[in-house]
Structure 1
C-alpha cells in the first residue's frame, strides 16, 4: 500500500464512527502486499504485514479498495463477483465506508 493511500485513509478516517469499536481489518493486496488497520475506540493505526488475529481479512487489489472507498465500486457487488474475498467477521467489511466516508 502506498504512503499516499495510507495518508488518504488517515485523512478520511471518522473517529466518531469508530467510537467504541475495537477491530482489526486485515488487507491482502495481490499487487501491494499485506497491511492491517487497527481501529481502537476512535483511533486508527495502519501497519504493514499480517496481524495474528484479525477481526476480518479482506483480499482484493488495491484498485478495488480505492473503488470501494470512493464509492465507485459497490462493496457487496465486488464481493459477489469475486473481486473481494472476505473471511472472519465479514459484516465488519460493511463498516468501512462509514469509517472512511468519501468527501
Structure 2
C-alpha cells in the first residue's frame, strides 16, 4: 500500500529525555508543557437542615442580598476569624 504521507521516525531531543528512571516515573507520561499548576478545586460541604431552618437561612440570606451558600460561607469565615483573634489575644497575655 502506498501513501502520500511521509512519516519520519521520532527520537526525543536530549534535553527532553529524563535524566533518570525516577524522573521518568515522576512525569508519568505527562508532557512537561501539559503540567500547569491548577487552581485548587473548591470542596463541597453538604448539610442536612430541617425545612423550617432552611427557609429561615434563605430568608436571612435574601435580606442580606446573598445566596444561601454565600451567607453560610460568610458565617463560617467570620467564626474562624473570631477564633483566630481570640487565640492571638490569649497568647499575648
Q: TM-score range by the shorter chain?
A: under 0.3
Rg (Cα) greater in structure: 2
Question: Structure 2-normalised TM-score?
Answer: 0.23
Between 1 and 2, higher relative CO (CA 8 Å, sep ≥ 6) is seen in 1
